[in-house]
């Protein structure tokens, strides 16, 4: 198994890939689009992508990419995110004039970063990539928000640990592949659907799950590109597609939705492991 992930070694996506399959070989990619491309073209067998963070919320670009590509979700991973303030050896906190990190990293550490009023916050493509950039360019007035592993890999010092706004800072990742094992049992199903713009359409859509006592773990709306003020809805169901209730609910939904698509049915992340994975 070879897993593509966005970012540099030391990124939290790398940690997610290794949590999913510790023995896998890894393929770092510059962008989320590159992860999808690597799996589609066969450079990797799987790709790992962050979908939501317990502090920063949803990573909307990846929701959109799941619809744009035909790669099913086959698993999920949760990673505890422990952000650190990293700087080159010898650089003190008072010397910092810029802080680099991925936009999500900056957002998750908003309160701490307010304690650096003289520092400009600069969004980059990756947390670990920010640490690499500081090392490669020899920046002496710049810090990064990244993991302690990134500090080790790129020769930076950890000035402050645990700078995220909340201790319970968890990112949920999904794993995509070129094809799914239809015989594999899943206990979480992700679907996306669009509805006609008529009164009560969303109420009617949600009722197909309510009457069957199906728990919706997540409901997210996203604009449909090219169709102003029209939306599609992502929903996570708390059961697998092989469950008769899920199958009947999706068929029922398809009777009045404009379209419905199942993005994957897969094992939920439980007690530090993806249940049902070998």
**pTM, full prediction:** 0.86
Class for domain 188-270, per CATH? alpha beta
Residues taking part in catalysis: 171, 173
For 43-68, what is each residue's pLDDT tens digit?
A: 999 999 999 998 888 889 999 999 99
For 93-139, what is each residue's pLDDT tens digit?
A: 889 999 999 998 999 999 999 998 889 999 998 899 999 999 999 99
Instruction: Tell me the three state secondary structure of residue 207.
Output: helix
In the beta sheet, which residues pair with residue 257? Answer: none
pLDDT attached to residue 184? 66
For 6-32, what is each residue's pLDDT tens digit?
A: 988 999 999 999 999 999 999 999 999
What is the per-residue DSSP string for 90-150?
T--GGG--EEEE-HHHHHHTHHHHTT-TTPEEEE-S-HHHHHHHHHHHT-SSEEEEE-HHH
User: With left for phi above 0 and alpha for psi between -120 and 50, is residue 7 left, alpha or beta?
Assistant: left
For 32-41, what is each residue's pLDDT tens digit?
A: 999 999 999 9
Q: Residues, the chain, total?
A: 278
Matching CATH number, 2-81+169-177, of 3.40.50.300, 3.40.190.10, 3.40.50.1580, 3.30.70.2860: 3.40.190.10
pLDDT attached to residue 276? 40
Class for domain 84-161, per CATH? alpha beta
In the beta sheet, which residues pair with residue 259? Answer: 194
Q: How open is the CA angle 6-9-11, to the nearest 5 degrees?
A: 60
Instruction: Locate CATH 3.40.190.10 in the chain.
Output: 2-81+169-177, 84-161
**DSSP-derived pairing of the beta strands 269-270 and 259-266:** unpaired
For residue 232, name the pLDDT band (cuts at 50, 70, 90): very high
């Amino acid at each position: 198994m070879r897993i593509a992930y966005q970012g540099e070694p030391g990124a939290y996506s790398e940690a997610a890939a290794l949590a999913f399959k510790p023995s896998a070989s890894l393929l770092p990619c510059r962008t989320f689009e590159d992860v999808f491309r690597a799996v589609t073209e066969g450079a990797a067998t799987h790709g790992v992508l962050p979908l939501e963070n317990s502090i920063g919320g949803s990573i909307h670009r990846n929701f959109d990419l799941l619809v744009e590509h035909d790669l099913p979700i086959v698993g999920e991973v949760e990673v505890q995110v422990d952000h650190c303030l990293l700087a080159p050896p010898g650089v003190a906190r008072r010397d910092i004039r810029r802080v680099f990190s991925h936009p999500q990293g900056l957002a998750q550490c908003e309160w701490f970063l307010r304690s650096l009023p003289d520092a400009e916050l600069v969004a980059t493509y990756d947390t670990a990539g920010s640490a690499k950039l500081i090392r490669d360019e020899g920046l002496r007035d710049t810090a990064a928000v990244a993991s302690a592993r990134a500090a080790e890999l790129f020769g930076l010092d950890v000035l402050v640990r645990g700078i995220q706004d909340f201790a319970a800072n968890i990112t949920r990742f999904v794993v995509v592949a070129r094809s799914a094992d239809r015989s594999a049992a899943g206990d979480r199903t992700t679907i996306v659907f669009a509805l006609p713009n008529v009164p009560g359409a969303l109420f009617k859509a949600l009722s197909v799950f309510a009457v069957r006592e199906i728990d919706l773990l997540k409901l997210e709306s996203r604009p449909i590109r090219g169709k102003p003020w029209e939306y599609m809805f992502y929903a996570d169901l708390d059961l697998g597609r092989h469950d008769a209730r899920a199958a009947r609910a999706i068929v029922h939904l398809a009777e009045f939705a404009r379209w419905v698509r199942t993005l994957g049915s897969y094992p939920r992340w439980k007690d530090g492991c993806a249940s049902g994975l070998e």
